[in-house]
Amino acid sequence: MMQTLRRISLLVVLIAATSCLKPPSESDDNGQEAPTIDVQKAIVNGWGSADFEEIKLNEFLYIEQDQKISTLDPKVVYKEASQVIARSETADTIDLKFLVRSQAMENGSFKPVTSIESDLSIGKSKPSVTSGEAATSAEQGTALPNSIEDLQKSMADGSVGLRSGNGLNHYIGKLNVINMLSACVKGPNWDATCYNLRVSEGVMSPPTGVSSQQNCGGIPNCQIRYKKVGFDLVVNLQGDDGNTHTEKVLYDMTFSPDVPFLSRLMEFCYQGMVPTASQKVLVKICNRVQNFQPGQN
């Protein structure tokens, strides 16, 4: 751990000496405030009506996670390939088994690929991401978005961009979407406000893993529709020292209705200032879909 912290401290010194990247403003002028319900509606609209029942046998997804520290070039630090290898239904549930192959970077090089099988059982009565769910999230305000904690802790333990757990939050983008519905909601121990809501839509090429296939994987004209949603989150929360401090995180999401369910959240990025030693550095982390294949009915 101490060696890791020393490596990070040296990196921070080098970055500070060369950095010209402007970090998210930590001033009182955060831009135009975005009402919670507007942010939630934009996320719901971006996701659309897709639900868990659309997940099919043999559906495949490949994601890479990259990190960018200050002015350094983005660096891929995690790779994950997930495939539905079993699917069954009962009167009440959809039961899925995933084969997940992942590879994480450690000390500048990738570790050997690891494989696990992960089971997921989904109640058929569970609603899709809807405006009703957004309203419920607004009333509850029970948890901060995971990414705020990720940004604060990952530099301290030398694992910026890495993640723990079984990967469900990555290859089932809907879980990230549901988590983000509470992003602008005030909680019992924090005050949250969102600013600068950004929404756009258009068409784009699919990931290179798809576009390089013969006939572009069957995608007409090799173009898919997209919707982008972004906003800035400012949170005032109490630290371990008992003092209140402010954190600012910028989120950007890209959705597409023209891809299989697991790939629908095509890109999920967040960035913020991360404390290390005596100063903060700008860190940006992105999960990006690089390849997908539809399953079978």
For residue range 95-116, list pLDDT tens digits in order: 999 999 999 888 888 999 999 9
Percent of the chain with pLDDT over 70: 75
Residue 37's H or E segment, with its range, is helix 36-47
The amino acid that residue 132 corresponds to is G
Tens of pLDDT, residues 194-224: 999 999 999 999 999 999 998 998 999 999 9
Q: Report yes or no: 162 and 151 within 8 Å, Cβ to Cβ.
A: no
What's the pLDDT score for residue 194? 94
Query: What would the mean pLDDT of 81-90 be, rounded to a whole number?
Result: 94
Side chain identity, residue 2:
M
pLDDT at 247: 85
Q: Is the pLDDT of residue 167 over 60?
A: no
The pLDDT score that the predictor gives to residue 71 is 86
pTM flag (> 0.75)? yes
Higher pLDDT, 35 or 162: 35
What is the percent of the chain with per-residue pLDDT over 90, rounded to a whole number?
43
Cβ neighbours for 168, distance < 8 A, ≥ 6 positions apart: 118, 120, 175
Largest CA distance in the chain: 62
Distances in whole angstroms, Cα of residue 76 to Cα of each of 30, 107, 108, 162: 30, 13, 10, 10
User: How high does pLDDT run on average in the chain?
Assistant: 79
Adjacent-strand bridge partners of 286: 66, 269
132 by Cβ neighbours in 10 Å (0-12 / 13-18 / 19+) ranks as exposed
Q: What is the pLDDT of residues 133-163, one digit of tens each?
A: 544 444 444 566 766 666 655 544 444 444 4
Residue type, 223: Q
pLDDT confidence of residue 61: 94
CB atoms < 10 A from the CB of 13, how many?
11
pLDDT at position 87 is: 95
